C-alpha cells in the first residue's frame, strides 16, 4: 500500500470540492509543490521521506478546506491528526511526527526538530520558487538564502 497516494486521494477530494477554481489551482500548486520540496529536502537531510512528503500534502489542508488562514497551522495539525487516524494506516508516533511539523510550520523564525524543519523549509522554498521574479517575503529571506546555499543555488 502506498500511503502517500492514500493521503493524496484524500487531499484531492478536498481540493476538487472547492468552488473557486483559482483557489483550487492555488491549493494544488502549493500542497503538491510543498510535498515535493519536502521529499527533496528530506532526502538531502536523511529524514523520513515518506512522512515528510505526507506532512507537505497536509500542512495547509485546513486553510484550503475552510478558506480560513487564521491559526491555520495549529488547526491544521488537529485536522491532519483526524485525517491520518481515519485512514488507519499510520501508527501514533508517525502521526505525532507529521502533526508536529504541521503545527510548527508557520513559525519560521524559530528552530524546531530536524524533521519539522523539513516542512518549514519546503514551505519557504515553494513560496519563493512559485514565481522567482517576485520579491522574497521578509520573514522568509534568511531561510531561503540558507536553502539556496544548502542546494548550491546562486
What are the tens digits of pLDDT across the range 132-150? 999 999 999 999 999 999 9
> In angstroms, rounded to a whole number, what is the distance separating the alpha carbons of residues 60 and 62?
5
Domains and CATH numbers, the chain: 3-150 (1.10.3210.10)
Q: What is the pLDDT of residues 101-128, one digit of tens each?
A: 999 998 887 888 999 999 999 999 999 9
Q: Is the whole-model pTM more than 0.85?
A: yes
102-130: burial string, b at 16+ Cβ within 10 Å, e else: bbbbbebeeebeebbbbbbbbbbbbbbee
Amino acid at each position: 500500500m502506498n500511503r502517500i497516494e492514500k493521503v493524496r486521494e484524500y487531499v484531492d477530494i478536498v481540493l476538487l470540492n472547492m468552488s473557486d477554481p483559482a483557489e483550487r489551482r492555488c491549493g494544488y500548486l502549493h500542497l503538491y509543490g510543498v510535498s515535493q520540496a519536502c521529499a527533496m529536502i528530506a532526502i538531502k537531510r536523511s529524514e523520513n521521506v515518506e512522512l515528510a512528503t505526507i506532512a507537505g500534502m497536509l500542512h495547509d489542508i485546513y486553510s484550503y478546506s475552510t478558506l480560513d488562514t487564521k491559526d491555520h497551522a495549529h488547526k491544521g495539525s488537529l485536522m491532519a491528526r483526524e485525517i491520518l487516524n481515519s485512514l488507519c494506516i499510520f501508527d501514533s508516533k508517525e502521526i505525532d511526527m507529521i502533526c508536529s511539523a504541521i503545527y510548527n510550520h508557520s513559525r519560521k523564525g524559530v528552530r524546531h526538530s530536524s524533521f519539522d524543519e523539513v516542512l518549514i523549509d519546503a514551505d519557504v522554498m515553494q513560496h519563493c520558487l512559485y514565481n522567482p521574479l517576485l520579491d522574497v517575503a521578509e520573514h522568509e529571506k534568511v531561510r531561503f538564502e540558507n536553502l539556496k546555499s544548502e542546494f548550491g543555488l546562486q
